[in-house]
């Protein structure tokens, strides 16, 4: 075999090896709409035995040290399914980049750990995926504070509307997540998420009305003084 043929053979073998390197990660929070790594494909589907909960504080992306925000984690719940997106990353270089980005985004700044579970796409095809979540072992974990779930969501909503981080407001995070789930997974029964969205939008609306009333009162006083 010629040197040129040997070289082409080595290149083909390396290319085939890279194509067999696959990393699959499941997104259920901001990864649904904000992906900052290269991927080969994205597939809608679900995982089983989990539900989404806003039980994790965040002091970087959606909050600060003084006013932490709330972000989603997955919580074990039998007979529940959780919809989301599986991102497939191929090739050693893209996989390494994605893992570094996710480690910083989710683990270092978010306090999450990674676990493995099974993803089911829209046709029932199964894949093993990595998913990031939080446990009570990290300082940012809050869990359920109030005894009644609705009271807990009310408490979370109050925290959300007052928080903002380097990625934007915490309210934007909640509303964008709810909108994505409602649009792409219309059969998703995520009471926690949709109730939180409702409470957050109500509080934002009330805050806006209060500002408007104060503005009108101030204008009235100034006009009277003039």
As to burial, measured by CB atoms within 10 angstroms (0-12 exposed, 13-18 middle, 19+ buried), residue 175 is middle
User: Between helices 191-225 and 149-161, what is the axis angle to 10°?
Assistant: 50
DSSP 141: B
**Catalytic site residue 13?**
no
> In the numeric block, which tokens belong to residue 166?
């380097």
Question: Of the residues 106, 122, 128, 216, which is catalytic?
Answer: 106
Report the distance separating Cα 56 and Cα 43, nearest Å: 26
CA nearest to 53, candidates 124, 144, 162, 118: 144
- 11 vs 6, 92, 143, CA distance in Å? 9, 15, 51
- 178 vs 45, 193, 213, CA distance in Å? 16, 6, 29
CA nearest to 59, candidates 103, 100, 111: 111
Report the distance separating Cα 184 and Cα 83, nearest Å: 9
> In the numeric block, which tokens belong to residue 200?
């957050």
Active site residue ranges: 106
């Amino acid at each position: 075999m010629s040197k040129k043929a040997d070289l082409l053979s080595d290149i083909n073998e390396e290319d085939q090896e890279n194509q067999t390197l696959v990393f699959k990660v499941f997104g259920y929070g901001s990864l649904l709409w904000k992906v900052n790594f290269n991927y080969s494909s994205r597939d809608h589907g679900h995982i089983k035995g989990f539900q989404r909960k806003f039980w994790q504080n965040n002091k970087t992306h959606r909050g600060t040290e003084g006013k932490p925000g709330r972000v989603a984690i997955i919580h074990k719940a039998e007979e529940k399914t959780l919809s989301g997106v599986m991102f497939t990353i191929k090739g050693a270089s893209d996989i390494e980049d994605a893992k570094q980005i996710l480690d910083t985004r989710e683990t270092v700044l978010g306090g999450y750990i990674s676990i493995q579970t099974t993803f089911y796409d829209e046709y029932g095809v199964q894949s093993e995926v990595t998913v990031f979540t939080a446990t009570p072992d990290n300082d940012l974990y809050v869990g359920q504070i109030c005894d009644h779930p609705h009271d807990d969501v009310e408490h979370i909503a109050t925290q959300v509307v007052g928080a903002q981080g380097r990625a934007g407001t915490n309210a934007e995070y909640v509303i964008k997540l709810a909108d994505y789930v409602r649009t792409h997974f219309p059969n998703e029964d995520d009471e926690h998420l949709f109730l939180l969205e409702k409470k957050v939008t109500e509080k934002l609306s009330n805050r806006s009305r209060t500002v408007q009333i104060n503005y009108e009162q101030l204008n009235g006083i100034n006009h009277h003084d003039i």
